[in-house]
Amino acid sequence: MSFKDRLAAKTALIAPVVDSPNPPLPREPKTAPGAMMKAMPILKEKQAEIDAMSAAMAALRDQMANGTNGAMDIALDQLVEVAGRRRHMSPEKFAELRENLRHNRLIHPIVVRRLPDGKFEIISGHHRIDAYKALGRPMIRAVADDGSDDEASDGAFFANLMQSDLTDYEKYLGFKERQRRYPTMTRAQLAEQSGLSETAISFIRSFDNLPAYVLSICADRPSLLGAGAAFALANLAKQGRSDQVISAVQKLAAGEIDQGQTVKLASIDPARPKVDAAPVSTKIRQGKAVYCEMRRAKNVVRLQFKSEEEATRVHAEIQRVLEAASGAQKGTNETS
């Protein structure tokens, strides 16, 4: 046997070495320390995510504590009211608001601005605060605004201006304060910023020309005069009829006449011959509803009821009273 044959016989049982297309996977560690060492990079990554989340939560808590973002609960005794920002609300509307908040959570937080002494200036939400006080609640939900003094005042003014039940007198006060802060602002600029027409602003600003006594009545009863009546009465006052304007508004405040009759009464020229007084109309209420409307013109009295049955009943009562009065008068005449 040759050397070549002998070498081939010795190597016949040795498998050839071939490159594998899929190299073997690394072996899993068999011991706990080995498993811990392998998991260290993953644990480090997860810890970084937890640290980032904790930092974000801490920043959010700081923002809420400082009133720079989100809503927070503020003690009512930490709130400060700025004169001129509160709008009028009737007792009936306030009662509805109070009872709504008694049974439901506050959906719209109040808006405040942090003051240097740590208290909070009210920008919007005066009546919600009043309702919470009436309900005996010490805290209220609020969001903070970090604007300047002028920005806070402007925000409160325009927020109130958009309220449908804001009276013309309150709009007048708001525009007057705005004109005081921006004396060079034109009527056209006021109209552009407010969304009202220049004519509407002229009517609203006409309160400026009413007698001081009339303005004092309006301050107590902001809904007494609308801008149209105020414009007409202001023109009469500028014509030298301030006393007549005051007298007519006093009758309006007493409920004896309406706004249209007020303007007519103030328009009567005292130099002209006296004419018959305007009819006097009075509404008698039963709760919120009108029970009867009574109107008198010279020697005629007219009553109007909601139902025919009530009119029939009152007619009988009036007849009985008048017949009794007539009989008493007749007896007096016979004995005299």
Could you tell me if residue 182 is inside a domain? no
Could you tell me if residue 116 is inside a domain? yes
Could you tell me if residue 105 is inside a domain? yes
H or E, element range at 120: strand 120-124
pLDDT along the chain (336 residues), means of 10: 59 52 57 59 62 52 49 90 75 82 84 87 85 92 75 58 69 82 82 77 90 92 90 92 93 91 87 66 84 86 88 89 74 51
Q: Which residues pair with 302 in a beta bridge?
A: 295
What pLDDT is attached to residue 76? 92
What pLDDT is attached to residue 94? 82
H or E, element range at 201: helix 198-205
Cβ atoms of 207 and 218 within 8 Å: the answer is: yes
Cβ atoms of 170 and 87 within 8 Å: the answer is: yes
What pLDDT is attached to residue 209? 93
Q: In this structure, what token pair is assigned to residue 203?
A: 């009517």
Could you tell me if residue 228 is inside a domain? no
Final residue before a domain boundary, out of 142, 166, 190: 166
What pLDDT is attached to residue 67? 43
Place of tokens 């937080």: 109
Could you tell me if residue 71 is inside a domain? yes
String of b and e for 274-290 (b: at least 16 CB within 10 Å)? eeeebeebeeeeeeeee
Task: Using alpha carbons, list the distances in angstroms from residue 196 to 208, 225, 304.
Answer: 18, 19, 39
| Count of residues making up the chain | 336
Distance of CA 313 to the CA centre of its chain: 45
**CATH code at 103?**
3.90.1530.10
What pLDDT is attached to residue 8? 60
Q: In terms of Cα–Cα distance, which of 240, 87, 64, 207 is closest to 141?
A: 64
What pLDDT is attached to residue 217? 92
Question: Angle 211-217-218 (CA atoms, 0-180°, nearest 5)?
Answer: 90
What pLDDT is attached to residue 81? 85
Final residue before a domain boundary, out of 133, 166, 199: 166
Final residue before a domain boundary, out of 166, 200, 235: 166
84: domain range? 63-166
- Count of structural domains within the chain: 2
Could you tell me if residue 134 is inside a domain? yes
Q: In this structure, what token pair is assigned to residue 169?
A: 């007198």
Could you tell me if residue 158 is inside a domain? yes
Could you tell me if residue 30 is inside a domain? no
